[in-house]
A and B are shown apart, each in its own frame.
Chain A
Amino acid sequence: MEHWLHFARGPMFVAALAVLGLGMARLVLLNGASLAVMLHRTRSHGRTVAWKRVLHNTFLALRPFPASGGARPWYSLLSLVFHLGLLLTPLFLAAHIVLLERGFGVGWWALDPVVADWLTLGTIVSALGLLFLRVGSPLSRAISRPQDYFLLLLILTPFVTGYLAMHPLLNPWDYDATMLVHVLSGNLILGLLPFTKLSHVALLPVAQVFGEIGWHLRPKAGEFVAQVLGKENQPI
Chain B
Amino acid sequence: MTINHMAILNDVTKCTGCEQCVSACRDYNALPKEQNWRWLKDPHELSSARWTTIREEKTARGRRFVRRQCRHCLEPACVEACIVGALKKSPSGAVTYDPELCIGCRYCMVACPWEIPKYSWEDRIPLIQKCSLCHDRVTAEGKVPACVEACPHGATVFGERTELLAEAHRRLAAEPERYVQKVWGEHEVGGTSVLYIADFDLALDDFATHVDDTTPVPNRTFRVLRHMPSVFVGMSAVMGGTYWIIERRQRLQKEGASTGAKDEDGTGGGSEA
Direct A–B contact in complex, judged by CB atoms less than 8 Å apart: no
